[in-house]
């Protein structure tokens, strides 16, 4: 027990120490997080009136970010599957970083949901044993709670166990991590599938009521997730002792290329289905793409999203060899992240409420309060991920080990 407590103290010390640039990065993130805390206290005092959400558009920027980062969490399976099933050595070197990213993404998703609740003190209604009822299996929300918390625990256990065994200079026992890693592969698909069912199961919202919602979610996740991982691995390889092989970048690039094309294809299928029939059910898609009677807050955003994804696909197809020295791959990753965030977030959530079931067009744009709160959650995720990744790399490269601990006099 004493060794484990010392282990935690040494991890915290490692995560909070480093170069001036690293510490400045952590400090800047902490300032934004603190600002978000102040804004959230104001929301608790005044209520959701400080947001621009209304009875017509009751899901705002927080839910849009939630839907996007569910995909980031699920994308960890791209590293987990070849690492633990096919024992790919190059990908296994970085799989722990992918799993830590999944942990942070799930935490951020839960925070986006929590801060979007007008009365968080009533959250206990979902907790069995303290007066709440989870309503399994009838409630999709209950399934969402189950799969999210299960996936979080799985991704906390596997890297946590492996890093501790590395720290102790002991080989890990497969029985304690491999079954959980394999379960997490299936669980990764379930978290995004259940999220898609939450939307597509709302029959009155025609824009979401489609059978391809779950496939679209998974495909877009396997495009945006690797894009974020490539940027992270580029920073890791340039600034740390952890070796990230070219094969990792090539694998991520290939996955992005195929899934991005499929994402564009599925989006095109959805638009054809909506617009070609020219029924009242196409009103949301028509508003999204072309606006309605001068109202079209999302029109420029969705078209810019499609343009960025098409440019990114062109850049990816041109990257054949020696792509690691080119900025084009990183530019493509940035375009994919922004483009899919727009399409999967604002371009999916907001049009589902416009027009309302009564035919009214009540547009929505996030308030400064929502923007600051969402940005603070992103910074909190970046802060936690930076610390966790630094500790993970220190253990993996051998600079943080039990044998290196200072001896008592």
Residues 56-61 have a mean pLDDT of: 88
Q: Residue 97: is its pLDDT beyond 70?
A: yes
Average pLDDT, the chain: 87
Confidence of residue 324 (pLDDT cuts 50, 70, 90): very low
CA distances from residue 46 to 18, 40, 55, 119 in whole angstroms, order as listed: 40, 10, 17, 11
pLDDT at 404: 54
Q: What is the pLDDT of residues 122-137, one digit of tens each?
A: 777 777 777 677 777 7
- The ranges assigned to domains in the chain are 2-399
Q: What is the pLDDT of residues 366-403, one digit of tens each?
A: 999 999 999 999 999 999 999 999 999 999 988 888 87
Q: Residue 406: is its pLDDT beyond 50?
A: no
Residues 153-182 have a mean pLDDT of: 91
Q: Which CATH superfamily is domain 2-399 in?
A: Formate dehydrogenase/DMSO reductase domain (1.20.1630.10)
Confidence of residue 325 (pLDDT cuts 50, 70, 90): very low
Q: What is the pLDDT of residues 209-224, one digit of tens each?
A: 888 899 999 999 999 9
Residues 187-193 have a mean pLDDT of: 88
Residues 35-52 have a mean pLDDT of: 90
Written in H, E and C, the secondary structure of the chain is: CHHHHHHHHHHHHHHCCCCHHHHHHHHHHHHHHHHHHHHHHHHHHHCHHHCCCCCCCCCCHHHHHHHHHHHHHHCCHHHHHHHHCCCCHHHHCCHHHHHHHHHHHHHHHHHHHHHCCCCHHHHHHHCECCCECCCCCCCHHHHHHHHHHHHHHHHHHHHHHHHHHHHCCCCCCHHHCHHHHHHHHHHHHHHHHHHHHHHHCCCCCCCCCCCCHHHHHHHHHHHHHHHHHHHHHHHHHHHCCCCCCHHHHHHHHHHHHHHHHHHHHHHHHHHHHHHHHCCHHHHHHHHHHHCECCECCCHHHHHHHHHHHHHHHHHHHHCCCCHHHCHHHHHHHHHHHHHHHHHHHHHHHHHHHCCCCCCCCCCCCCCHHHHHHHHHHHHHHHHHHHHHHHHHHHHHCCCCCHHHCCCCC
Confidence of residue 25 (pLDDT cuts 50, 70, 90): very high
Q: What's the pTM value of the predicted model, to 2 decimals? A: 0.90
pLDDT at 320: 57
Nearest-5° Cα angle at 7, 83 to 180: 30
């Amino acid at each position: 027990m004493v060794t484990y407590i010392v282990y935690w103290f040494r991890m915290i010390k490692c995560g909070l120490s480093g170069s001036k640039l690293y510490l400045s990065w952590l400090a800047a993130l902490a300032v934004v997080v603190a600002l978000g805390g102040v804004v959230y206290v104001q929301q608790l005092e005044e209520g959701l009136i400080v947001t621009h959400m209304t009875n017509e558009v009751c899901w705002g920027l927080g839910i849009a970010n939630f839907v996007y980062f569910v995909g980031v969490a699920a994308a960890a399976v791209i590293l987990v599957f070849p690492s633990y099933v096919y024992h790919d050595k190059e990908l296994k070197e970085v799989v722990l970083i992918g799993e830590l990213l999944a942990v942070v993404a799930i935490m951020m998703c839960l925070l986006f949901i929590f801060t979007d609740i007008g009365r968080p003190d009533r959250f206990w209604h979902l907790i069995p044993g303290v007066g709440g009822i989870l309503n399994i299996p009838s409630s999709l929300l209950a399934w969402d709670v189950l799969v999210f918390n299960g996936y979080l625990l799985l991704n906390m256990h596997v890297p946590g166990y492996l890093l501790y065994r590395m720290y102790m200079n002991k080989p890990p026992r497969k029985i304690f991590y491999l079954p959980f890693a394999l379960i997490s592969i299936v669980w990764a698909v379930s978290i995004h599938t259940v999220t898609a069912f939450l939307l597509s199961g709302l029959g009155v919202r025609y824009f979401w009521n489609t059978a391809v919602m779950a496939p679209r979610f998974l495909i877009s996740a396997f495009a945006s997730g690797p894009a974020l991982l490539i940027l992270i691995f580029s920073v890791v390889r340039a600034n740390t002792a952890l070796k990230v092989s070219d094969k990792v970048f090539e694998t991520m690039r290939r996955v992005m290329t195929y899934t991005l094309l499929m994402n564009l294809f599925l989006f095109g299928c959805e638009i054809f289905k909506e617009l070609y029939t020219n029924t009242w059910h196409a009103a949301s898609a028509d508003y999204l793409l072309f606006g309605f009677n001068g109202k079209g807050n999302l029109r420029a955003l969705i078209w810019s999203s499609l343009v960025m994804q098409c440019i990114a696909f062109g850049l990816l197809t041109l990257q054949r060899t020696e792509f690691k020295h080119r900025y084009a791959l990183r530019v493509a990753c940035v375009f994919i992240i922004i483009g899919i965030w727009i399409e999967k977030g604002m371009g999916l959530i907001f049009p589902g409420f416009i027009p309302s079931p009564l035919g009214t067009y009540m547009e929505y744009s996030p308030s400064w309060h929502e923007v600051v709160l969402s940005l603070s959650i992103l910074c909190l995720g970046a802060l936690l991920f930076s610390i966790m990744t630094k500790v993970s790399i220190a253990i993996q490269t051998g600079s943080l080990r039990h044998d290196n601990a200072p001896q008592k006099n």
